[in-house]
Amino acid sequence: MQTLDTDIEKILFPEGRPAKHPYSRELVALNEQQGRTLSEMASATGVSQPFISQIKAGKGKLKDEHAQILIRMLYPKAPRDQFSAYPILKAMTPSLPDNWEQQVLMEGLRAVSEHDSEGRYPTGEAGFNEVLSEHSNVLELIDSDGSPKKQHGLGFSSQAQIERSNRSVITQLEDALATYHEEVTKLEREESLEAERLERAIVATWYNLTKKRHDDDLTKLKLCIEDVIEQKFQRYGWSPAIPRKRLTDACTRARGHLEMPMIKKLFESGNDENVGGNEKLYDPEAHAKRLLAKCKELQEQFDAKRSEHRQRFRLTGHASPKALRQLKDEAFSDPRDASSMEDWGKQLFGDAVIRVYRRPNKFYEINLSKAYRIWFERHPRFSYQEEVVQICGPLILQKAFAHGTLIVHELHSRQFVVLRTIQDERINKKLTILSKPLSVEGLFSCIKDESLMQGWSIEQWNSVADDLQTTLLTKGYRVPGVRSIY
């Protein structure tokens, strides 16, 4: 194993970086010298221990990706390496605030009301709350097609007032029923107490009669019975009338409410509540409960219609959930690629147009796809992930331009990496982008693409290309476009 001492760099960094490492056996031997077992090497590389044993015996080669793991285990810093550390952009992802769709709407509203005679709408949270309140109030005055509601000629100017009347009837019926039930329960409890009292008096009198105290005991019994009967007549003369009157009054109002032509027009089926006078007189509680059930049924229909109407004219919640999930999964390694985010409005909203009402006959139409583009141009939001990397290899080119810096490093694998530092105006910060390992041809292609993106002049491109070509030729690389003689 003479090569382990004399050709260590050749073992670690063979020329060309083939798919399978030519010195796999030596890598295993070097790791064993540092005290690692075959089992530990197998676990680290993800291959089986028998395969590592075959490598040790010289009967196979490790894939380059597995060999690189053993190399890193051997030398965190290999001999004669030149290291440079750079903070690079790992990924940038969209970062949408919770109220992003609300912000999109306000940007669209601001744009369409820019030159409106009534003044431009404000932006921000306070502005949205103002718009929402104004819009919601108008919804009470317009029909499902957006046209102003007609006067009904019944003392009500809108369905909202009819709904308020219905809710008031429900409240009155519920309160009257509760009071009536409470009073009836109280009377029944008092009757029970009086019956117990009378029964005790009769038992006591009978007990005394058996002892022949006739006259006094009969007098006591007579007085007790007269007292109980007198109280019963007094109570039935006034007590039930108070809760009963309140309940019958509430029932009368409910009947009048249910018989309104407007309500019958809105809800034609199931509103005929033919309850006879006898039931109203002798069982007012059952009568009130039937009317209350009908009013509540109407209220459920009112609520359903209002919910459907508000859903049609809602100001948020129009974005496609599927497109939104896809958008949040987007990730960019180059900030300049993130400009494609501006085009997501179509996928998110599909050119949906919504109306924002200022008055029943005054509204603005907002194309949400266009509003999204305006919003994103004004308020791009991203999360940035950066990491520090070590480049193992010499610096062979560094050029500064108005839009950033271009750096090229040669790697020990006989490949190259390009670092481009650009200014991201979104966060007013310089970000460095690292390319994947490149061949000579890939290196020139990468820099050519960068020159087009940065808008270099011909002189700038020629200067970079000439410097890079000269450096690579002196290092013994085959440079595209330069004639070689062997």
- Domain-embedded: residue 207: yes
Same domain as 71, residue 28: yes
Same domain as 444, residue 418: yes
Q: Which of 378, 406, 428 is the last residue of a domain?
A: 378
- Domain-embedded: residue 335: yes
Same domain as 324, residue 341: yes
The DSSP code sequence of 320-354 is -HHHHHHHHT--BSSGGGGGGGGGGHHHHHTT-EE
Same domain as 323, residue 304: no
Same domain as 243, residue 212: yes
- Domain-embedded: residue 50: yes
Same domain as 326, residue 276: no
- Domain-embedded: residue 89: no
| pTM for this model (two decimals) | 0.58
CA 376 to CA 38: how far, in whole Å? 55
The DSSP code sequence of 135-173 is HHHHHTTB-TTSPBPPP-SSS-SSHHHHHHHHHHHHHHH
What domain range is 447 assigned to?
A: 383-474
- Domain-embedded: residue 402: yes
Same domain as 121, residue 189: no
Same domain as 464, residue 342: no
Same domain as 179, residue 292: yes
CATH of the domain at 34: 1.10.260
Q: Which of 312, 337, 356 is the last residue of a domain?
A: 312
Contacts of 78 (CB under 8 A, 6+ apart): 9, 12, 13, 71, 392, 412
- Domain-embedded: residue 86: no
- Domain-embedded: residue 268: yes
Query: How many structural domains is the chain composed of?
Result: 4
Q: Which of 312, 341, 357 is the last residue of a domain?
A: 312
Same domain as 343, residue 211: no
pLDDT in tens, the chain (486 residues): 334 444 676 777 776 667 788 889 988 998 898 888 999 999 999 999 999 999 999 888 998 888 888 887 876 655 555 778 899 999 999 988 999 999 999 999 988 888 777 766 666 777 888 888 888 888 878 877 777 776 544 444 456 677 888 888 888 888 888 888 888 788 778 777 777 776 776 676 666 666 655 566 667 666 766 666 666 555 544 445 556 777 788 888 888 778 777 777 666 544 444 444 445 556 778 888 888 888 888 888 888 887 888 888 888 899 999 999 999 888 888 888 887 888 899 999 998 999 998 888 888 999 999 999 999 888 888 888 999 988 888 899 999 887 789 999 998 777 899 999 988 877 788 899 999 999 999 999 999 998 888 888 899 899 999 999 999 998 888 888 777 776
Between the CA atoms of 158, 162, 164 and 169, what dihedral angle is there, to the nearest 10 degrees? 170
Same domain as 71, residue 41: yes
Q: Which amino acid is at 315?
A: L
Same domain as 301, residue 191: yes
- Domain-embedded: residue 220: yes
